[in-house]
Amino acid sequence: MKNAKMQVALNEARLAAKAGEVPIGAAIFLGDKLISSAHNETIHRNMPDAHAEMLVIRKACEILGDWRLSDCELYVTLEPCAMCSGTIMLSKIKRLYFGAYDTQSGVCGGKIDITHENLFGSNIEVYGGICEKECSELISKFFSDVRKQDTNI
């Protein structure tokens, strides 16, 4: 069964892939209302912190006029890294839903789990594996294609 909110994040991830970025997308919702969406732009912006989660949180804060996103939910196609997880918790996001687990850099259960440490006074609810197959396939295909291109140079 497709999750409509995760599909917004997946569409963003596809935009990232088309732009040559690692295909990770994110979307923030307030109830059923889409507040913001974004995808990785580290190459385009030449900024190591231009992850989908960081960009979508910045947009949502600007749109809502508040740095506290305590009634919002974040959907992201890949389990967040430490930097993004810290920002997610600092912004007081209520719920995090992610697609694929990241066993190398994920800090919400894939490699380690910092979300249950009550860091920054956060009581975030975390749900992993949402549309996991579709999210995993998107990122796996991207890196497979990158490896093929590298061997043909």
Q: Residues, the chain, total?
A: 153
Q: Which of 12, 21, 41, 53 is catalytic?
A: 53
DSSP per-residue codes, 46-74: T-TT--HHHHHHHHHHHHHT-S--TTEEE
Count of CB atoms situated within 10 Å of the CB of 2: 9
| Residue bearing tokens 């912004």 | 91
- In the DSSP assignment, the letter for residue 109 is T
Q: How far apart are CA 101 and CA 111, in angstroms?
A: 9
Phi, psi dihedrals of residue 79, rounded to the nearest 5° = -50, 130
> Which contiguous run of DSSP H or E holds residue 99?
strand 95-100
User: Does the annotation mark 53 as catalytic?
Assistant: yes
Q: Which residues are catalytic?
A: 53
